[in-house]
Amino acid sequence: MTAINVLAAMPALPETPPPILTLPPPQVSEKTLLSLARSMNLRGTQAAGSIHRDTSTFGYSEGSFDLVLYRASGAFRYKDRNRWQIDHRSNVELSDAAAIRRARRLLERYKLLPAESRVLRVSRLNVAAAGPERRIEDHRVIDVAVHFQPVVRGVPVDGPGGKLTVYLDHEGLTCIDHLSRRVGSIYRRVSSLHAPEHAVDLASRAWNRRGLHSVEVNEVRLCYFELGWTDQQKYLQPAYIVLATLIGPDERIRTGDIFVTPATTNSVGRLVPRIPQGRPQKLRAARGNR
């Protein structure tokens, strides 16, 4: 029996349960790729750049700029490959507040900022060198990233998706990661939500089936759950995300774990795609010497 230690406070629930929303299919084609490139101040023509494609993306390159548009989600990455997370011997001296202001202005300029959002965090890419006595020298920040989280009907969007990240160096913008799907109309009203404790109970059963020694539950979130770059998604549904630490028998090995389950009593389909099962290969008879 897995020992469960719940350290997290349960999230407060809204008075009116958030509805299940539709996610219109993304409009992804070479035409939308070039239009997006022009909106990012590129020329966005086949004469000015080059288009490349594979089974999951459309891509456009112009000069040092790359734009990749994902077919399944409509998410995109726009970057300057000569500057994004490249060390030019500079030091980005931006406070969190200044970085957030710059990032927000850039998203507004490109009309990418959601109607409602919040700042998740500000992160920095550090570089340094060690001297002869192994002392850290020449410590600098070469990249500052501001991570935004969309909020829909007062509920944050979480999961692999629901992210907008703006990367800045000493000169300005170097990259935008935009993984936030366009939200449509209400698909289904929700009469009630499960209690957060229900999510912890389901997670506990899953951990028991895995035969784990002990688990610490660190956080329980209520959110709209969004899938990642290469996933198709038809509905945006309320969900609980349970963040936990799995602890080995000797308590030295500690591993993070995430459990996701629908928060609504009338959810639609699966939240997380099934993991593809590999086909077992047939054994081949050994060939004898001829």
For the entire predicted model, the pTM comes to 0.90
Q: Write out the H or E segment, with its range, that includes residue 107.
A: helix 96-109
pLDDT confidence bin for 282, thresholds 50/70/90: low
- CA dist 267 and 262 (Å) reads 6
**53-97 pLDDT tens trace:** 999 999 999 999 999 999 999 999 999 999 999 998 899 999 999
- CA dist 12 and 41 (Å) reads 43
**What local confidence, expressed as pLDDT, does residue 137 receive?**
77
Parse the chain into domains and list their residue ranges. Answer: 3-19+187-262, 27-71, 79-180
pLDDT confidence bin for 188, thresholds 50/70/90: very high
**What local confidence, expressed as pLDDT, does residue 290 receive?**
47
pLDDT above 90: residue 256: yes
> For the residues 124-136, what does the mean pLDDT come to?
83
Nearest Cα neighbor of 96 from 178, 166, 171, 175 is: 166
- Domain covering 79-180 assigned CATH 3.10.450 in the classification: yes
Distance of CA 110 to the CA centre of its chain: 20
**What local confidence, expressed as pLDDT, does residue 134 receive?**
77
**189-217 pLDDT tens trace:** 999 999 999 999 999 999 999 999 999 99
